[in-house]
Homo-oligomer: A and B are copies of this chain.
């Protein structure tokens, strides 16, 4: 995980330099569903918000197991590192020939390559760890660039994120809640999952404006709230009043996610765990027939 985590800025830059692949994505104006499981679902959420907010068309994100793909979409985009995830393959099999499908994959020898009409292969971003860092953020950087966003600052900020000292409050926090707005909601979910997987920590995640509708009850001294991206008015003060640490970086939100990866890694090592082999998990969820 450490090596894959560190390589992120370089691998992101490699994804942005792809020339033919962006043309495989749905055209501007197309109505699109983006699907995935776990980390890939969270990246799908971020891409969906980026694409719709950029005016490129209605874009829904679904967990592959809970997707409504019979809504006259022009295309379905599936994200899967391993290319073997049961729910994704089943979904693609069910719409074959009815809707154009595009797979974004790490392992180019996987069944996903045959299951999708078009494939965007990111083999240079694939990784050995069960815990995803690099593939997910690289896929999102590629997709983010495809919406017209300039990701060069994000790549530069990721270099900073790799070396900046981490606040002690995050390493020692008893509990961390991650928040985001728009495309950074997916980043918040991903940061929370990473901490759960690698260090078995108590984490939560929400759209930032939802936080005061209940989850704020968990905030207390010794705990932390980490916001990715835009600060909703008054939220920092509301968190401060609880005694919890409020974390908010001026780095690009995706670069800030790299800091969250580093915190997860440090906490995992501090707890004497193997960050690459989380309890109860495998690299890809392949369900019995």
Interface residues of A in 37-86 (CB under 8 A from B): 37-39, 41, 52, 58, 60, 63-66, 68, 71
- The contact sample of 22 A-B pairs, CB cut-off 8 A, is A37-B213, A38-B210, A39-B214, A41-B213, A64-B209, A65-B208, A65-B209, A66-B182, A66-B209, A87-B209, A175-B202, A196-B204, A196-B215, A202-B202, A204-B204, A212-B281, A212-B285, A214-B278, A214-B281, A216-B281, A217-B278, A238-B280
> How does the 8 Å CB contact mask read for A189-232 relative to B, with 1 for contact and 0 for none?
00001001100101010011110111111111000000000000
CA distance A225 to B213 in the complex (A): 24
Q: Is A120 an interface residue (CB 8 A)?
A: no
Interface positions of A from 121 to 156, Cβ below 8 Å from B: none
* A97 on interface, CB distance cutoff 8 Å: no
Chain A residues numbered 162-200 whose CB sits less than 8 Å from any CB in chain B:
175, 181-182, 185, 193, 196-197, 200
Residues A238-289 near B (CB distance < 8 A)? 238, 241-242, 278-281, 285, 287-288
Whether the pair B58, A71 counts as a contact (CB closer than 8 A) is yes
Chain B nearest CB from A170 CB (Å) reads 18
- Report how far A138 CA is from B280 CA in the complex, Å: 38
Instruction: For residue A214, give the distance in angstroms from its CB to the closest CB of chain B.
Output: 5
Question: Shortest beta-carbon distance, A199 to chain B, in Å?
Answer: 9
Q: Known interface pairs A207-B63, A214-B39, A242-B280. Does A233 touch B200 (Cβ–Cβ under 8 Å)?
A: no
Tell which of B213, B241, B279 touches A38, judged by Cβ atoms closer than 8 Å: B213
Contacts of A214 in B (CB 8 A): 38-39, 193, 196-197, 278, 281
In order of increasing CB-CB distance, the 5 nearest A-B pairs are: A38-B213, A65-B209, A217-B278, A216-B280, A37-B213
A167: shortest Cβ distance to chain B, in Å? 22
Other-chain contact of A200, B71, B181, B217, B281 (Cβ < 8 Å): B217
Interface centre among A181, A213, A238 (most CB of B within 10 A): A213
Minimum C-beta distance from A233 to chain B (A): 7
CB closest residue in chain B, given A289: B233
B41 touching A210, Cβ below 8 Å:
yes
* A 17-42 to B, binary, CB cutoff 8 A, 1 in contact else 0: 00000000000000000000111010
